[in-house]
Amino acid sequence: MTTSELVSAYLAALERADADAVLKLFTSDALVHSPLYGPQPAAEFYPQLFADTSRSLLTLLGVMDGNSQQGTALVSFWFHFEWCFPSGAAAPFTVMDIAELTDDGRIATLYIV
C-alpha cells in the first residue's frame, strides 16, 4: 500500500467511524498522541473518539512523505475535519497528522497536531 493509499484508507475509515478498519492500519502496540485526549494506545483512542462523535466529514488537503532524523518513514496528512458531537454541536477544525511507519507500512505512532 502506498502512503497515499494508506492516508485514503485511514480517512475513509475515520469518517465512517470504523474502528476495525482504522486499527488494521496500525501495529498492535501503536500509540496516538492527541492534543484533546493525550497519549493513548490506538486500540483505546479510536473507540473513545468514535463514542464522542455523531458525524464527521473529512476533506484531504495534502499528503507529504519523508523520514525522521533516525530514518523512520513518515507520512503527514493535512485535512479538514467537520466533527460533530453526539449532542449535535459542531466542532470543525483543520489538522495535520504525522504518522511514523513500520517497514511493512503500518502506523506505529500517530501525532495529531
Q: What is the pLDDT of residue 72?
A: 96
- C-alpha 87/C-alpha 93 separation (Å) is 17
Contact 46, 19 (CB under 8 A): yes
**pLDDT averaged over consecutive 10-residue blocks of the chain (113 residues)?**
94 95 98 96 96 88 96 96 82 93 97 96
Q: What is the pLDDT of residue 91?
A: 83
Q: What is the pLDDT of residue 68?
A: 96
4: enclosing H helix or E strand: helix 3-16
